[in-house]
Structure 1
Amino acid sequence: MAAKNLAEAGVRPRLVVGDGAQGAAGGPYDRVHVTCAVRSVPYAWVERCRPGGVIVTPVRTGVGEGHVLRLVVMPDGTAHGRFREYADYMVMRSQLGAG
């Protein structure tokens, strides 16, 4: 349904459906947009982005409310960013028992 709706909007991103904790094969990617909350950002997402790539994900640590995290991938393999506005999403299945 997501692919159909996006195509009708005139965009055709590569959609990956499933547990994305290991990241999508391929890359390097310019953007990773996550639609489930994480307690920690899987490093596979950073590895799959090119330097300057952006990762946007909801984060819910279990303390208080969730927020959107926007990270920029650096040439040295790190990612830096800030928490943004409030967001509350279901936690990634593979991280449900974490923390």
Structure 2
Amino acid sequence: MYLSAEKKEEIFEKYGKSNTDTGSPEAQIALFSYRISHLTQHLKSNHKDYSTERALKMLVGKRRRLLDYLKDCDIERYRAIIKELGIRK
């Protein structure tokens, strides 16, 4: 499996408050970004996999909604996570 429990824990520890902090917007955005990059690589070689394409679009939408929420609540945290993940230019 591409996303093991250890990898999730590492992502949550790096972007969340602790390794068990699965609820903070930063941790969820980082996890979604990791999954989006994995699915993007998969679709480059399997361009007719439409169910994965749909899942990718849904993940991008979830990440977008979380980023909008974070931008409305705390613009500094939003700017920090955008810069750290390299989502925007």
TM-score normalised by L of structure 1: 0.25
Q: Give the structure, 1 or 2, with the largest relative contact order (CA under 8 Å, sep 6 or more).
A: 1
